[in-house]
Structures are given as structure tokens and as C-alpha cells.
Amino acid sequence: MNPPATVPKASKILVVDDNPIIQQTLYYALRDLCHRVLVCGELTEALNIARKEVPNLILLDINFPPDASIFSGGLRDGISALAWMRRQWKLNDVPIVIISTDDPTTTKPRALAAGAAAYLQVLRGL
């Protein structure tokens, strides 16, 4: 397995998570490291932003609440969004890190098999 690519300073990073606390935490941490941070809380918006902005890195949650707008186009979760992004030529080489509070013994292999560059375990309760 190749090590994840490093992200240069002042990179454009897209954070996709429905939890506002995780959104804010990642936003401020990455902004303080001199990155341009784009944040959204739902998958269809994330795909539109990713296509338009073509970020240098995407941090993508695996779970989203059951909402009709998320299920449009066959998007059920972060794994299906990741698979969609991997089929887009503009996004094919963008490192995508799956972030999750789920049990990593089941979600990490799924994420990596779908094309994630890495898996980040987030503590529950945030």
C-alpha cells in the first residue's frame, strides 16, 4: 500500500460531514494551517462543490442521516459518494480520506476498497 499523499500548504480542502462540531473543528484546525477549507453537510452539495472546485484533499464522513436529498442519484453514504468521485476524471486523483465514528474493523476495509486514500477514526460523542 502506498503512503497517503501529502497536502501542500494553502491547499483547498473539502470537509463533508453532517456533524457541525466536526465541521467546525476541522475547519479551524485546517484553516490555522493555512489551507482554504470548504465545508458542507450533505452529499449532493459535496459532489457539486468537488466538481466545481476540484479540491486538493477531501475529508468525507461515511454516515449521513436519512434525508431525501441525499438519496437522490443513488447516494446512500460516504462510500457511495467516494465511488462516484473515483469515476470522475477531475476527481480521480484527489486523495479522499474517510472519517467515521463507526467500528473501523468493518468500515475501514470498505473505505479502502472503494478507493479511499486513508481512514480516520473519529471519537464518538463529538
- Amino acid present at 83: A
Q: Tell me whether residue 38 is in a domain.
A: yes
pLDDT in tens, 67-91: 645 455 667 788 989 988 988 888 9
Residue 88, domain CATH: 3.40.50.2300
Interval 29-69: pLDDT, tens: 999 999 999 999 988 899 999 999 999 999 999 988 776 45
- pTM, whole model, 2 decimals? 0.85
Q: Which CA distances in Å does 96 have to 15, 69, 92, 111?
A: 10, 22, 10, 10
Average pLDDT, whole number, for the chain? Answer: 86
Per the structure, the complete domain to which residue 80 belongs is given by 12-121
Q: What is the Cα 114 distance to its own chain's centre?
A: 13
**Residue 7 resides in a domain:** no
pLDDT at 68: 43
The count of domains in the chain is 1
Query: Is residue 87 in a domain?
Result: yes
Q: Cβ-count burial of 11 within 10 angstroms (0-12 exposed, 13-18 middle, 19+ buried)?
A: middle
